[in-house]
Amino acid sequence: MDLDFSDEQEMLRETVRGVCEKHAPLSVVREVEDDPIGYPESFWTQLADLGLLDLSAMSMLDAVVMYEEFGRALAPSPHFVSSVLSRGAIEGGGTGDQRAHWLPKIASGEIVCTPAWLEPGGGFGARGVQLRAEADGDGFVLTGAKRHVRFAQAADTLLVLARADDDVDIFLVDRGAPGLTHTQQMTIASDAQYRVDFDRTPSTRLGAAGSGWDTWNAAMYDGVILLAAYAMGGAQHAHDITVQYAKDRHQFDKPLGSFQALAHYLADAKCAVDGGRTLVWEAACARDSGGDVERLAPMAKLFATQTFRDVTAMAQQVFGGVGFTVEYDIQLYFRRAKVLQIDWWDTRYLEELVATAVLDA
């Protein structure tokens, strides 16, 4: 594994960092908290203009570079749900006509597509998908409820996992379809999540019958590598601002960082951050080389999100009481770290995936 990034990748990093600083600084992150749309339109437009919504020309390591910068900035956008997960599912499981129709629109930013996967009372596995799909003429109608649907109010299309007979399939639903009800959910990350209810809502099946779960699972393995990169970008920046605070803040006429206990906390955190980034890069390189990521991808997400959570919790202790106030940036990272840890695949599900991969080796 070559740990030296290419000139092109370093240029990509600088470009993404610059776009985030200009169009989605932390002041904007604060403005869109609990906003129904959840992201600034100018940021999304700029990503589209730069071709950053089209991952087809990127390696996984390129995408990791980009997602580290997204995490560093806590960039609010539907990039992950639309350009990563939805694109991955359509590319992996759609028919030729469906790929030709949807993928260019996602890549250009013409549409936002978001998955509707998790259900009330359901888990992360296939058995958690119980929303019903019934044949109706040339299409299907969906009945049931989904929760934690990101950017549902802004999305043009929903990518819905549903059960047709005994199989899990994926269905595409237009935002304006009848029978849809959106209810915003409030989270500690203050991001745009929704409960979506379906009442005989018309839809179109993606790809072949019975292929939905395998298609979704494959897209998720790619997705968790990028979520891990996002977590490590956030952890690195949280560590950076905490180190700076420990240098600037004085107690008993000495900087906080001169106290051994705090210095050791910062040193331990730096070791974890550097180790986590290396694990994410290893998973990305394995994906690019056609290697097996069934162990590395969940390991990366498991370790990276735990590190993000631990580093921001440590940072709160270094900042003290002021770290919990809204005026300080560290609380933005602390709150998002916890949500990312339990999001998509949570700790227990990731541990089960890693254990299965290790025991079956």
Residue 179 token pair: 């029978």
Whether 20 contacts 73, CB under 8 Å: yes
Q: What is the DSSP letter of 32?
A: T
* Residue in the block written with tokens 């079956």: 360
Residue 302 token pair: 């498991």
Per-residue pLDDT of the chain (361 residues), as tens digits, is 667 889 999 999 999 999 999 999 999 999 999 999 999 999 999 999 999 999 988 999 999 999 999 999 999 999 999 999 999 999 999 999 999 999 999 999 999 999 999 999 888 999 999 999 999 988 899 999 999 999 999 999 999 999 998 899 999 999 889 999 999 999 999 999 999 999 999 999 999 999 999 999 999 999 999 999 999 999 999 999 999 988 887 778 787 777 777 889 899 999 999 999 999 999 999 999 998 899 999 999 999 999 999 999 999 988 888 888 888 899 999 999 999 999 899 999 999 999 998 888 6
Q: Distances in Å between the alpha carbon of 230 and those of 21, 71, 234, 287, 317?
A: 16, 4, 6, 17, 23
Pairing of strands 139-150, 180-185: unpaired
Pairing of strands 193-205, 139-150: antiparallel
What single letter denotes the amino acid at residue 42? S
Assign 322 to helix, strand or coil.
Answer: helix
Q: Give the CA count within 13 Å in the CB-facing half-sphere of 10.
A: 5
| Residue 220 pLDDT | 96
| Residue 327 pLDDT | 87
Residue 199 token pair: 């009442």
| Residue 361 pLDDT | 64
Each residue's pLDDT tens digit, 289-311: 998 899 999 999 999 999 999 99
Please list, in sequence order, all residues whose beta carbon lies within 8 angstroms of the beta carbon of residue 155, skipping any fewer than 6 positions away. Answer: 78, 81, 82, 112, 113, 114, 175
- Chain-centre distance for alpha carbon 295: 19
CA 56 – CA 6 distance, rounded (Å): 19
Whether 119 contacts 131, CB under 8 Å: yes
Q: What is the DSSP letter of 167?
A: E
The strand pairing partners of 137, in sequence order, are none
Whether 318 contacts 240, CB under 8 Å: no
Whether 152 contacts 38, CB under 8 Å: no
Assign 24 to helix, strand or coil.
Answer: coil
| Residue 251 pLDDT | 76
Q: Distances in Å between the alpha carbon of 63 and those of 58, 78, 92, 342?
A: 6, 15, 18, 22
Cβ neighbours of 107 (radius 10 Å): 19
The strand pairing partners of 84, in sequence order, are none
Quick one: which of 326, 328, 341 has its CA closest to 242?
A: 328
Whether 204 contacts 278, CB under 8 Å: no
Sign of the CA dihedral 15, 17, 18, 20?
positive
CA 227 – CA 354 distance, rounded (Å): 17
Q: Give the CA count within 13 Å in the CB-facing half-sphere of 276.
A: 31
